Every structure is written in C-alpha cells, then in structure tokens.
Homo-oligomer: A and B are copies of this chain.
Amino acid sequence: MGSQKKVLVLIANGTEEMEAVISIDILRRAQIEVLVAGVEVDEFATCNRGVNIKPDLIIKDFSSLDASAYDAIIIPGGLKGAETISSNAGVQSLLSSAYKSGKIIAAICAGPFAIKAAGINKGGKITSYQTFKEELENGYVYVALFFITFKI
C-alpha cells in the first residue's frame, strides 16, 4: 500500500482543541504519521478552551519545511488560532508550495482563512463555519454545506 502517509497539523494559541485533537487522534488510529507543529508557540499552545497542548515540533520558519514531505496539512479552527496560522508568512509559503505539489490542504471552521491568506485556489470553492462566510466570499465561491470533502 505504498509508503507511510504523513500529515502535519498546525496549532497555535487559540486553536480549537477538539478540532485539533480529534483530527490527530483519528489519523493516528488509522496508522498515519501525524506531526503536530506549533505556530508562534513557545512551549505549548493554549487552546481556545484553555487546554494546553505541547506540539511535537516548534518551527520558527515554516517556509523552511519541505512541503512535499507531507501528504496533507490540516488547519484546525478556533478564530484566534486560525488568525495566527493564516497571517504567518512561513505558513503561507508552506501552504502555497504544498498546494503546487498537489498535496491535501484541509481546514476546519475558521481554518480556511489560511487558504485565503496563502492565495490558494483563488476563485474556487470554499466552505467554513458560517460566521466566516462573508470574509471568504471575497475571493472564493462559498459553498454552505455542513460537511464537505474535497481536494482543492
């Protein structure tokens, strides 16, 4: 079945802990290697509801990562966390490279802000937690589904 799949999950202060932890846990149950990387995090990320999570990796410059090494990159929600992740220039560059290499970029809730900030798939379909519809309609075709699975 080919080589071991590898997924990068980005977390920051204010990330929604359920969206991060459920993603990490389910993927690891499926035998996928998951690396949790902290964005602008010192030792641990204090998540949206106060759970403190220590990332596996604390990376200063995400643009130095080899985007082709990961099969997918996941951006959880939590507004404050998603804003930090989205506005990080290194993350923008990593997401843009990953997109160009045909990798999966998955975003939950407010996470799609990072897709917009990285300038990925402009004019394509996007979804999010509904509060962020207006912001994302500016640049994308907003699709209001409760669940959507797609490869951008």
Binds B, one of A14-22, A62-70, A86-94: A14-22
Where chain A touches its partner, the secondary structure class is: mixed
A25 at the B interface (CB under 8 A): yes
CB pair B22 A22 closer than 8 Å:
yes
Q: Could you tell me the distance between the alpha carbons of A54 and B50 in the complex, rounded to whole angstroms?
A: 10
A129 to chain B, nearest CB (A): 14
Interface residues of A in 54-94 (CB under 8 A from B): 54, 56
| Copies assembled | 2
A110 at the B interface (CB under 8 A): no
Q: A residues engaging B (CB < 8 A)?
A: 16-18, 21-22, 24-25, 28-29, 34, 36, 44, 48-54, 56
Enumerate 15 A-B pairs (CB-CB under 8 Å) in ascending A order.
Answer: A16-B25, A18-B21, A18-B22, A18-B25, A21-B21, A25-B49, A28-B49, A34-B50, A44-B52, A44-B54, A50-B56, A51-B53, A52-B54, A53-B53, A53-B54
